[in-house]
Structure formats: structure tokens, C-alpha cells
């Protein structure tokens, strides 16, 4: 079992490939346990994690995407630090991002986001998703082998979000050039190294969507971007341009990143399991639960962070005000008290969808339905258009000695590369 005192989860690289033995060791000691290097309370139990996600009264999300680094700008003293949080919120990294907002600001901006991804818009986008999957697979499958993330999963996730938000097709190439390739060794926020505040992709998105919104407010058109530009808060007031831009940019960046990790991990599982390929080709209605089990076993987000506003308790453990808490999704989803044989991939697991890969509560992932639709379309068409999918032994080694590289970050969980070999099927359907 991993020695939790000897390993620095946030700065060391020992756990990048496999963090799960560390998570199990933490949970075995206590499902709410302070790690010794940065004094972060790690919540690894399922019930305890869900309770924190639902408790926005006692926990602030102001550090949700950065965690313990670079630290709060002033000492956190006193029994209630709510006023300190509001006074210094703007000094925190990524404080302009929706996941870091607390009510009531979060409530208004979340409502604005949900007006952008209505059921009608998601349905229209889903039709595009299936067409796009085929178009990208036409190229990716042609050579019988290829790197899956850059060849399919990356452009697939990027262009789906671009279509959802109405990015003009003439700009798709620029978006791909500026945003694709993130994740191939560039961890960005949450890096175990020193580059954890990378912000340039968001700045590109801010610039582009500011132009779109300002243009559509001056000259409305019959398009998705006009709907984006003219969306209102629940009280009917018109948001500032930057408010709309932040929401769109966050959906774009967060939705793309997690979907790439989900789809590539699912493809890896399939390539390692010919039996699952055969099953899902025969019974495609099992694919949704396969996706849920993938999310459970390999959550694209290892964890979310909270800062305790006041002294409280989680699972009977006292949490002082000003404590950094990490809700470890990747550990809670392997809690044996909730999931039988938690380290085993079970495509038919009846409670797979109880996972918290997309969080819970007011900050649950608003793009979860979109991510599920993307994964369903991409994987179903990949299976239909191939007769077998294999891991490239030339790149990743033989079955008994696989070599995979994962993102060097304490927040995200995902492959940097995935090289596959396959046999395309003519007119697969």
C-alpha cells in the first residue's frame, strides 16, 4: 500500500500513471484525511464527497480549479472567512471562471449558461455530432492505424463545441490551430510542475467571443451567436459582454478537455478488450452504460477543490475555517462501499451512473448531456466502421508490458497519446 506520508500528490510525478493505490490508502486510513505536504483535506469516500458537493453554504468554490496553489493572498484567520473570500476573490487565479463563482453570482451565470444549451439546441447539435464523427473517421481510419487523440478525439470535441456555440465554420480552422494539441504533454492548470497558471487558450476564446457578441449585438442575425449575444439573466437584465464571453469560453474549454479524456479512455478500454468490442457491436444499446462505467473507473477530473468558509464537519471529521478541501472524484468513484469490485471494469454495472465524474450539486457539469452524446456517437461509429481495434504494440508495448503516458496534472486524468491499429469495414453502419 502507498505510504501517504512519503508521496506528494500535488508536486510529485510518482502518482501520475496510477493514483489509485494512493487514493485507496487515504480512504483506508480515513475517507476524510489531511495529506501532510500541503495540508489539503482529501475527501475520498463517496458519501462524504457528495455531501461536500451539495454544501455551498459551508464551502466556497473560489479555488475550485487551482487548489492549494498559489495559495490565498492573505492569511485565513477567524471562525468565518466569507468576508475575506469576497474581499480578495479577484486576486485568485481563474476567478473569472464560472466554476469558481459562488451564489448568488454563480446562480445568475449558471442560468445564463443553461439558456445557451437548451434541449432544442442540444438536439440540433446532436445531429451535427453524428455527421462530424463520420467525416473525421473517413480520414482517421484510412491508414489502418493512427494516434487517436490528435486524429479523432481532439478535433471531434473541439468542433462539436464550436458548432454548439455557433462559431462560424470559416473560423473552425483557426480554433483548431489555436486550441488543438493541448494535453499532449502540456498540462496547464493543475500541473505538477510550475506552469499551472497557463491561461492563453482562455484569452484566445475571450477575444474571439467578445468580437462575436459585440458584432451580434450591433447587427443581430438569425443564428446561434445572436441567441448567445442576446441571452438575459433570470431577472430579464442584459449581461455585460464579458459575462456572456466568460460563460461561452468556460463551456468551450471545459467541455472540450473532459470529452477528449472520456472518449480516448473509452477507446483504450475497447482496444484492450476484444470481448467488449464484440459485445457492443452486437448490442449497441449497451454503449451508454459502457460510457458511464468508463467515467466511473477513469474520471476525467481527478477532483474539485473547495475552501471552508466556517468550521464544519465532513463524515464526522472537523474541518476548520480556511481549510483547502479536495473532493477526489477519482477516489469516490472507486469507493467499495458504493461500488462492488470497484477496480474492475464492468460494462454491465447496474449502478455505474451513480458516479460523480461530473460532480454534484450546483456546480455539476452543465455539459454532461453533451459529453455523453459525443461519446455515444464517436464510439458507436468507431465500432461500426471497424471489425477490430487494437493497441499499437510498436508505440505502447506488448499486452503484458503496456506503456501509457498520462497528463502530468493533479486535476485531470487522461492519456497524452493513444496509438491504435484497426481494420476498417467498408460501408460500416
Report pLDDT digits (tens) over 375-409: 999 999 999 999 999 999 999 999 999 999 999 99
Domain range for 192 is: 20-424
pLDDT at 201: 82
Mean pLDDT of all residues in 347-351: 98
- Edge-to-edge strand ranges of the sheet holding 145-147: 145-147, 419-424, 386-391
Task: Assess whether pLDDT exceeds 60 at residue 275.
Answer: yes
Task: Quick: pLDDT tens for 69-111.
Answer: 999 999 999 999 999 999 999 999 999 899 999 999 999 999 9
**If 0-12 CB within 10 Å is exposed, 13-18 middle and 19+ buried, where does residue 20 land?**
middle
Under a CB-based contact definition with an 8 Å cutoff, are residues 135 and 141 in contact?
Answer: no
Residue 5 maps to a domain: no
Task: Quick: pLDDT tens for 1-50.
Answer: 578 889 999 999 999 999 999 999 999 999 999 999 999 999 999 999 99
pLDDT at 177: 87
Short-list 429, 184, 412, CA closest to 299: 412
Short-list 203, 330, 309, CA closest to 258: 330
Q: pTM for the complete prediction?
A: 0.93
Element (H, E) at 82: helix 82-88
Short-list 152, 102, 127, 121, CA closest to 248: 121
Q: What are phi and psi of 210, to 5 degrees?
A: -60, -45
pLDDT-based confidence at 180, cuts 50/70/90?
confident
> What is the count of structural domains for the chain?
1
Q: What are phi and psi of 166, to 5 degrees?
A: 80, 20
Q: Which residues pair with 422 in a beta bridge?
A: 389
Residue 280 maps to a domain: yes
**Nearest-angstrom CA–CA distance, 117 and 140:** 29
pLDDT at 428: 66
Residue 211 maps to a domain: yes
Residue 315 maps to a domain: yes
Grid cell in block for residue 387: 471489425
The 3-state secondary structure of 135-148 reads HHHHHHHHHCEEEH
Question: Could you count the other beta carbons within 10 Å of the beta carbon of residue 336?
Answer: 12
Torsion-angle region of 185 (φ positive above 0: left; ψ -120 to 50: alpha; else: beta) = left
Residue 9 maps to a domain: no
Residue 429 maps to a domain: no
Residue 15 maps to a domain: no
Give the 3-state secondary structure percentages of the chain, helix then strand then coil, rounded to 5.
50, 10, 40
Q: What are phi and psi of 53, to 5 degrees?
A: -55, -35
pLDDT at 116: 79
**Nearest-angstrom CA–CA distance, 395 and 393:** 5
pLDDT-based confidence at 178, cuts 50/70/90?
confident
**Nearest-angstrom CA–CA distance, 216 and 86:** 33
Among positive and negative, which fits the CA dihedral 222, 227, 232, 237? negative
Under a CB-based contact definition with an 8 Å cutoff, are residues 326 and 303 in contact?
Answer: yes
pLDDT at 189: 58
pLDDT at 223: 84
Under a CB-based contact definition with an 8 Å cutoff, are residues 389 and 420 in contact?
Answer: yes
Short-list 388, 51, 117, 62, CA closest to 251: 117
Angle at 19 between CA 39 and CA 337, to 5 degrees: 90
The CATH number of the domain where 243 resides is what? Answer: 1.10.630.10
Task: Assess whether pLDDT exceeds 60 at residue 124.
Answer: yes
Residue 7 maps to a domain: no
Amino acid at each position: 500500500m502507498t505510504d501517504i506520508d512519503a508521496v506528494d500528490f500535488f508536486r510529485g510525478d510518482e502518482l501520475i500513471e496510477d493514483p489509485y493505490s494512493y487514493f485507496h490508502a487515504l480512504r483506508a486510513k480515513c475517507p476524510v484525511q489531511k495529506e501532510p505536504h500541503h495540508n489539503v483535506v482529501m475527501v475520498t469516500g463517496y458519501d462524504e464527497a457528495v455531501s461536500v458537493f451539495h454544501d455551498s453554504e459551508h464551502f466556497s468554490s473560489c479555488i475550485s480549479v487551482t487548489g492549494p496553489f498559489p495559495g490565498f493572498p492573505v492569511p485565513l484567520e477567524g471562525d468565518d472567512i466569507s468576508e475575506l473570500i469576497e474581499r480578495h476573490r479577484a486576486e485568485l487565479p481563474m476567478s473569472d471562471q464560472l466554476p469558481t463563482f459562488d451564489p448568488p453570482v454563480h446562480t445568475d451565470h449558471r442560468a445564463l449558461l443553461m439558456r445557451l444549451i437548451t434541449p432544442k439546441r442540444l438536439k440540433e447539435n446532436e445531429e451535427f455530432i453524428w455527421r462530424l464523427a463520420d467525416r473525421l473517421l473517413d480520414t482517421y481510419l484510412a491508414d489502418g492505424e493512427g494516434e487517436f487523440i490528435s486524429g479523432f478525439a481532439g478535433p471531434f470535441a473541439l468542433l462539436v463545441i464550436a458548432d454548439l456555440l455557433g462559431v462560424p465554420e470559416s473560423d473552425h480552422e483557426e480554433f483548431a490551430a489555436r486550441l488543438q494539441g493541448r494535453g499532449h504533454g502540456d498540462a496547464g492548470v493543475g500541473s505538477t510542475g510550475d506552469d499551472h497558471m497557463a491561461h492563453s487558450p482562455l484569452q484566445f476564446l475571450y477575444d474571439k467571443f467578445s468580437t462575436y457578441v459585440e458584432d451580434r449585438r450591433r447587427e443581430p442575425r438569425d443564428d446561434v451567436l445572436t441567441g448567445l449575444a442576446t441571452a438575459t439573466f433570470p431577472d430579464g437584465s442584459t449581461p455585460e459582454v464579458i459575462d456572456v464571453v466568460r460563460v461561452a469560453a468556460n463551456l468551450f474549454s471545459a467541455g472540450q478537455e473532459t470529452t477528449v479524456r472520456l472518449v480516448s479512455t473509452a477507446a483504450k478500454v475497447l482496444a484492450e478488450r476484444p470481448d467488449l468490442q464484440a459485445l457492443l457491436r452486437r448490442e449497441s444499446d449497451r454503449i451508454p452504460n459502457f460510457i458511464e462505467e468508463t467515467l466511473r473507473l477513469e474520471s476525467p477530473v481527478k477532483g474539485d477543490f473547495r475552501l471552508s468558509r466556517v468550521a464544519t464537519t465532513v463524515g464526522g471529521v472537523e474541518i476548520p475555517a480556511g481549510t483547502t478541501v479536495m473532493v477526489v472524484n477519482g477516489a469516490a468513484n472507486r469507493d467499495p462501499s458504493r461500488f462492488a469490485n470497484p477496480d474492475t471494469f464492468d460494462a454491465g454495472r447496474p449502478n455505474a451512473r451513480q458516479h460523480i465524474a461530473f460532480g454534484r450539486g450546483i456546480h455539476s457539469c452543465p455539459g454532461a448531456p453533451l459529453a455523453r452524446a459525443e461519446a455515444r456517437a464517436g464510439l458507436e461509429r468507431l465500432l461500426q466502421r471497424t471489425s477490430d481495434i487494437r493497441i499499437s504494440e510498436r508505440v505502447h508495448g506488448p499486452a503484458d508490458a503496456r506503456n501509457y503516458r498520462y497528463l502530468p496534472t493533479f486535476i485531470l486524468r487522461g492519456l497524452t497519446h493513444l496509438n491504435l491499429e484497426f481494420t476498417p469495414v467498408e460501408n460500416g453502419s
